[in-house]
Each structure stands twice: as structure tokens, then as C-alpha cells.
Amino acid sequence: MKINNKTVFITGATSGIGLETAKLLLEERANVVIYSISIPKNPEINTLKKQKNILIIKGDIRNKKSVKSALKKTTKKFGKIDVLINNASIAQRKDFEKTTQKDWDAMIDINIKGTLNVTQIILKQMLRPQIQSPMIINISSGAGYEGIEHLSLYSLTKSAIMNFTHSLSDELSNKKIDILTVAPGSTDTQMFKEVFPGQKPHHTPKQVAQVIIKTIKKEILPDERRIIDVFHHAK
């Protein structure tokens, strides 16, 4: 699939993998919408704001009204959304026996419910007949495969995202929409540094972003479970 002139909506894309993906998409002449709960004031974001084919919206993936507002702003500027990338998530390193109801709610509300919320709202417009070859990419993790000690809640949510993707893909198999998961290994993001202090990641955000771009172009195809896994996973 050609990316130029396609509109790509990315959640949580003001840093890390999401930001690098947005930058590569702009190089491919795509229209890019960054939807994030916070918009940092830094030179990189300020530079992006100056480009005509980008829209940066502050909002919460858990809030239906906020997501619907973002969809309205996007369609007003670009007409439609061709590709949705559910990238926003949080992680926490903690012994499970010490986790609290508050920890559970935060992880599930953002990583699972937030993804469901954005997907359901944007999917409705992506299924309109005039949208050609729509695609949804859910960003999971190697933790969704194996489960990682002290990351029980995060592993739980990322496994759920994989299974949600597979189920929804089967459910909409006659709708001509691609729904798949990209499952990166350890990546040099701020989240990784906070969760694994002192450890060396296997990938850079740009390397993961390049896989996402190739996935959109269908240069990399998913396995039978609708998962793109070309990364090295290690505990």
C-alpha cells in the first residue's frame, strides 16, 4: 500500500516508537495525526507542528468524548483516517503481590480499555465504502508472548491486545480491513529505561518504526495470528 496522502492516526506519539513512526510517515508524505495525553514543549515537537500535513491533538484515549472530538478534527482537516496505530500504553515494574486495585485499574484502563475505545470510535468511519484499504495496527510487546517477571500487569494487557487483534480481524474478515499487531522486543524508550534501569535494549525506536512503516506498506506480512514479530525477544 502506498503511504503518500494516506492519513495515519497515532496514539501516544509524542515520544519513543510513536514519535519515530510519525516522523517516518511524514517523510513518506503521509498525513499524520498525533493524539496524546500530553504534548511536550520541546524543539522536536515544535518542528513537527510547522509541517502542514500534521495535526497534534491533546486528549485521553480513555475518554470517548475526547476521542470523538479528535476524530472530528481529523476528518475536518484530512477528510478521513486510513490507518490507526494504537501505540499509547503504560508499564509498571512491581511484584504482583504488591500491586493494588489502583495499579490494576490504571493498566487496564489505558492499555486495554483505551485501545478498545479508540478502535471502536475510529473503526466506524474506517468501514465507510469510500475508505480504501483501511488498516489498524495495535502495538503489543514481546511481554505479550512470554510474560515477564515483575511485569505481570503489563504482560497481561499486551497479551490481551494480541488476542483482541486476532478476534477482531476474524470478525471483520469480510470487510476488507487489515487488523494486526506489531510486537516489538526491548526498545530504547523512556518507558524501557524506567522499567529496566541499567539494562541494554535490543532495538532503537527508529528500528521499530521502520517495521511499522513496512507493515503499512505490506512489505512485511503477519503470521496466522495477525502478528508481526521480526524482533528478538528476551527476558
Residues labelled catalytic: 154
d(CA 3, CA 109): 31
d(CA 109, CA 191): 18
d(CA 159, CA 219): 25
| Whether 163 contacts 140, CB under 8 Å | no
d(CA 23, CA 195): 25
Per DSSP (E only), the strands in 52-98 are 54-58, 83-86
d(CA 58, CA 143): 28
Nearest to 81 by CA among 33, 143, 25, 38: 33
| Whether 230 contacts 211, CB under 8 Å | yes
Pairing of strands 227-228, 83-86: unpaired
